[in-house]
Amino acid sequence: MCGIVGYVGSKEAAPVLLEGLHRLEYRGYDSAGVALVNKGRLKITKAAVRVNELRNLVGTDAPSTIGIAHTRWATHGPATDANAHPHTDADSRIVLVHNGIVENYEDLKAQLLEAGAQFKSETDTEVLAHLVGSCYLDGISLEEAVRTALRRVEGTYGLVVMDPRKPEELVVARNGSPIVLGVGDGEMFVASDVAALVRHTQRVVFLDDGEMAVVRAGDFRTFTLDASSTTKEPTLVDASDDEYQLGTFPDFFSKELHEQPAAVDRALRGRLDEQFATVRLGGIGLDPHELRTIQRVKFLGCGTSYYAGMVGANLVEELARIPADAEPASEFRYRNPVVDPDCLYVAISQSGETLDTLAAITELKRKGGKVMGAVNVIGSAIARECGSGVFLHSGPEVSVASTKAFTNMMVSFAMLGLMLGRVRDLSVASGKRMVTGLRALPGQITEILQQSAAVEQVAAQYAGSSHMFYIGRNRCWPIAREGALKLKEISYIHAEAYQAGELKHGPLALIDETCPSVIVIPDDELLAKNISSIEQIKARGGAVIAITNTTLPEGLCDAVITVPKSEPELDPVLLNIPLQLFAYHVATKLGRDIDKPRNLAKSVTVE
Ligand code: F6R
C-alpha cells in the first residue's frame, strides 16, 4: 500500500526521503513524490514513476533539511502525475502526504468547492489538503488547523503535514493507517513502516489511532485529537537494516523462504521447557488456573494468517482437546458475532496492521472477549491493541507473499496447543514428543530447502498449466489452501484447494490431462484414503505431484517430493515448505516479479 517518509534535522532531506521510499517499494505503489523546502520555497516533485526515476527528477537544486515523501497506490483516481502525493491547499500554504481513505471526501469536496476551492487531482488527499488549509487561519497553529480539519474527517489516515514557511516542524496524525516516529540524534524521522527508518535509528515511537504528533529536529510531542497530551517513550525495534537488504538473493521471497530455519529457531528460543515437557509463552499473561478456564479457542486472521489459524485450531484440538476453529477476520467483523467470555480469541497478523483483523479485535473487546495476538511486528497496532500474546519472531517479512511468518505462526500455535494441553490431559510423554519434534524443525527445514533444485525441475514441467488443484485433508487441508494461495499470488496461475474427500462430490469433473493436482500426503491414519484419491485423479488422466513424508507406491504419482518425518501434529510445518518452493519456481519460470505481485500490497490497512 502507500508509503510515507518524513524528515526534519540537519542533513540534506532529499537523499534520506528517497532512500526511505526505496525501502518501502516492496509494499507496492504506482506513483511517487517528494516535497522539499529551500529558503522558504516549496519544491514538489511527483510523477507516476518508480522511485529511481523520481530520484533523477528531484535533482540537487533544492537542498532542504526538512521534507515529506510518498509512494501512492491508487484508490481515488488513476496513477497519474497529478494524483501522486504530496498535495497542497490552494496557495500552497500547507503540503501533505496521506495514507488511507477519506470516506466522506465527496461531502467535504462539495463544501470546499462551494467555498471556491479548485482541485488539480481526483484524490481524496487533495480534499484533505484543502480542508487543512481552510482551517489554517491567522493566529491558528498548524497543529490546531490539522486537529480541527481531522475532526471533520471520516475514514482512515496516516498523515504528515508541513508548512513551507515553517521549515522546522512536521505535524503528524494517525487513524487506522500506521505511523511511526524515528528518534535520531538531533533529527527525527516519520514513516508508515519501520523499514524506511531502521538504517538511521532503532528508537521508535508508534502512534496510536486518534493520536497526533508535532515533530521537530530535537524533540517530539504527542497528543490526542482533542489536544490532551499523551506520554510516549521510544522503544527499540528488533530489526536491523541488514534484514531489509537482499544480500545474495534475487528477491525477498526466496530470501525469506531460506531464512525459515533461523526464523523457527528464534521462535523456539527460550520457550521450550524440557523438564516439564511443555513451553513457556510468558506473553500470554495467563496462569495455569486461567489457562484451564478456557473452554474454546478461536483463531482470527486474513489470507495466509487465516490459514495459519486453521492449522492452529487443529493443533489446539489435538493437543489440548479444547474445541477450536478459525474464521477470516474480514468476515467475523461484519457478522455481529456471538462473543463467548470463556473462549480465547487469537488474532493473527504478520504486519500487525491489517484493518480487518484490527476491527475484529475491537468488536471482540467491545463485547468483553478475551483476545491475544499472534503478531510479528512488535509495537504494531494489533500487538498494542491485544496487549498480550505470542510474538512470532520471524524477523521482518518484506515479500508481499508471506513465507516465514506463516511457518512461525504454525510453530507458535503448536507451542500454544502444547501449553494448553499440558495444563490439561496431555501426558508428559506426549509433551516430550512434541518438544523434541519442535526442536528438530530448523534442521529438517534446512534439509527440505536443499531439495530446491529438484522442486525446480518439477515446477518447470508444470509451469505451463492454466489451472491446478491443491489437495489435502485434516491437518494438511489448511496448507493445501495456503499452497494454492501462494501459487495464485506469485505465478498468477489459477489454483484451487480441495479436501481429498470432497473431490468425488464435484471437482473431479474438472480433472483431465491439462489440470495437474498437487497433493499433500503425510504418513498418517488417512494414507490409504489419500492414495485412493490419487488413483481417482490418475484414472481421469490428471497428473499428480505428491508432497509427502513417506514412500508411495512406485509409479503412482508423476512427481514426488519427500520431506523428513516429524511428529504427525507438525506435518503441516514441513510439508508446506515444498509448496512454497514449488510456487516460487513456477513463478520464476514464468518471469513474474515475485516481490511485487500485481494488485497486491504487503499490509492491507484499507477495507
Ligand atoms: C499472502 C499474504 C496475505 C496476508 C494477509 C494478512 O501471502 O501475505 O494473505 O496474510 O493480508 O496479513 P497480516 O498477516 O499482515 O495481517
Distances (CA, A) of 278 to 395, 422, 425: 24, 6, 12
Grade residue 62 by pLDDT with cuts at 50, 70 and 90: low
Is 365 annotated in the active site? no
**For residue 606, pLDDT beyond 80:** no
Number of independent structural domains in the chain = 3
Query: Residue type for 162, please?
Result: M
Helix (H, G, I), strand (E, B) or coil at 256: helix
DSSP 185-211: SS-EEEESSGGGTTTT-SEEEEPPTTE
**For residue 27, pLDDT beyond 80:** no
276 in the same domain as 396: yes
Per-residue pLDDT of 490-530, as tens digits, reads 999 999 999 999 988 988 899 999 999 999 999 999 999 99
Cα-to-centroid distance, 350 and ligand 1 (Å): 7
Residue 598 is assigned to a structural domain of this protein: no
Task: Copy the grid coordinates of residue 417.
Answer: 496447543
H-only helix segments in 136-238: 142-150
Cα-to-centroid distance, 371 and ligand 1 (Å): 19
The predicted model gives 168-196 an average pLDDT of 94
Grade residue 607 by pLDDT with cuts at 50, 70 and 90: low
Least confident range from 76-85, 163-172, 392-401: namely 76-85
483 in the same domain as 355: no
| Residue 505 CB neighbour total at 10 angstroms | 9
User: In what helix (H) or strand (E) does residue 98 lie, and over which residues does it extend?
Assistant: strand 95-99
Give the angle 307-311-316 at the CA atoms, nearest 5°. 140
Give the angle 77-81-85 at the CA atoms, nearest 5°. 75
Structure confidence at residue 515 (pLDDT)? 96
**For residue 349, pLDDT beyond 70:** yes
Ligand 1 site residues (CB inside 6 A) read 302-305, 349-351, 354, 357, 401-402, 485, 489, 603-604
Cα-to-centroid distance, 519 and ligand 1 (Å): 23
Task: Copy the grid coordinates of residue 213.
Answer: 504528533
**For residue 238, pLDDT beyond 80:** no
The domain boundary, picked from 424, 447, 470, lies at: 447
530 in the same domain as 392: no
Grade residue 1 by pLDDT with cuts at 50, 70 and 90: low
Give the angle 142-143-149 at the CA atoms, nearest 5°. 90
555 in the same domain as 514: yes
Structure confidence at residue 461 (pLDDT)? 97
Structure confidence at residue 242 (pLDDT)? 83
Question: Which residues are registered as beta bridge partners of 104?
Answer: none
Question: Which residues are registered as beta bridge partners of 206?
Answer: 180
Q: Give, for ligand 1, the residue of 346, 354, 378 to mutate: max count of ligand atoms closer than 8 Å to Cβ.
A: 354
| Containing structural domain, residue 422 | 247-447
Question: Cell 462539495 appears where?
Answer: 110
**For residue 74, pLDDT beyond 90:** no
Which one of 298, 486, 596, 602 is the catalytic residue?
A: 602
Tell whether omega for the bond before 86 is within 30 degrees of 0, i.e. cis. yes
Per-residue pLDDT of 131-167, as tens digits, reads 999 999 999 999 999 999 999 999 999 999 999 999 9
Structure confidence at residue 495 (pLDDT)? 98
CA–CA distance, 93 with 165 (Å, rounded to integer): 8
How does DSSP classify residue 155?
Answer: B
The predicted model gives 574-580 an average pLDDT of 98
Least confident range from 387-391, 399-403, 449-453, 595-599: namely 595-599
257 in the same domain as 185: no
Residue 601 is assigned to a structural domain of this protein: no
Grade residue 60 by pLDDT with cuts at 50, 70 and 90: confident
470 in the same domain as 325: no
**For residue 273, pLDDT beyond 80:** yes
CA–CA distance, 132 with 511 (Å, rounded to integer): 59
573 in the same domain as 474: yes
- Report which protein residue has its CA nearest ligand 1's atom 10: 304
167 in the same domain as 281: no
Is 602 annotated in the active site? yes
